[in-house]
């Protein structure tokens, strides 16, 4: 599997397109969430070239990556992600859908489930084609959801 992901910057200047390669990630990965927040890009989850699970944060201003030392869920196959206010909801899994919540401002995982997580789970299930919610791992199915 190819874990090489490069970020490139595309700029248009007087009708010309210019491409500049940005600083490389410290760990190669694929199938991950790249979440933009307040001048930073958060690389969360995915298949990795090493066994170490980490979140890498790219600073757009300094063109550098930082590795966060946070303990959280092991997220391999990111299907989609949503950002609401300061939280990133990462939808992942193969046969089952899981939603993990990361607080971008505090740079830490949010444990437990709340109403927003349930809503994201249901929306992701519908988007990914799991209409009966049986394949979801978080929370019971909605009753009378019309």
| pLDDT for position 99 | 85
| pLDDT for position 141 | 35
| pLDDT for position 69 | 85
Q: What is the 3-state secondary structure (H, E, C) of 50-99?
A: CCCCCEEEEECCCCEEEEECCCCCCCCCEEEEEEECCEEEEEECCCCEEE
| pLDDT for position 142 | 33
pTM for this predicted structure: 0.73
- Domain segments of the chain: what residues? 24-127
Instruction: Report residue 140 as tokens.
Output: 């019971």
| pLDDT for position 51 | 60
Q: Are 107 and 88 in contact (CB under 8 A)?
A: no
| pLDDT for position 27 | 81
Element (H, E) at 13: strand 8-13
Give me the tens of pLDDT residue by residue for the chain, a chain 146 residues long.
555 565 655 555 566 666 667 788 888 888 899 999 999 999 998 887 666 678 999 998 998 999 998 888 888 888 888 888 899 989 888 877 788 889 999 999 988 766 566 677 666 666 666 554 444 444 333 333 33
| pLDDT for position 48 | 77
Residue with tokens 């980490």: 54
Domain 24-127: top CATH class:
mainly beta
| pLDDT for position 22 | 78
């Amino acid at each position: 599997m190819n874990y090489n992901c490069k970020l490139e910057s595309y700029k248009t200047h007087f009708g010309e397109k210019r491409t500049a390669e940005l600083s490389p990630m410290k760990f190669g990965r694929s199938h991950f969430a790249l979440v933009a927040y307040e001048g930073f890009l958060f690389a969360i989850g995915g298949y990795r070239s090493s066994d170490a699970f980490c979140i890498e944060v790219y600073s757009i201003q300094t063109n550098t990556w930082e590795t966060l030392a946070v303990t959280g869920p092991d997220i391999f196959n990111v299907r989609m992600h949503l950002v609401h206010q300061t939280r990133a909801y990462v939808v992942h899994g193969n046969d089952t859908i899981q939603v993990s919540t990361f607080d971008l401002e505090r740079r830490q995982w949010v444990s437990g489930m709340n109403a927003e997580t349930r809503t994201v789970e249901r929306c992701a299930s519908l988007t990914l084609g799991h209409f009966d919610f049986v394949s979801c791992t978080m929370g019971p199915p909605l009753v009378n959801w019309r």
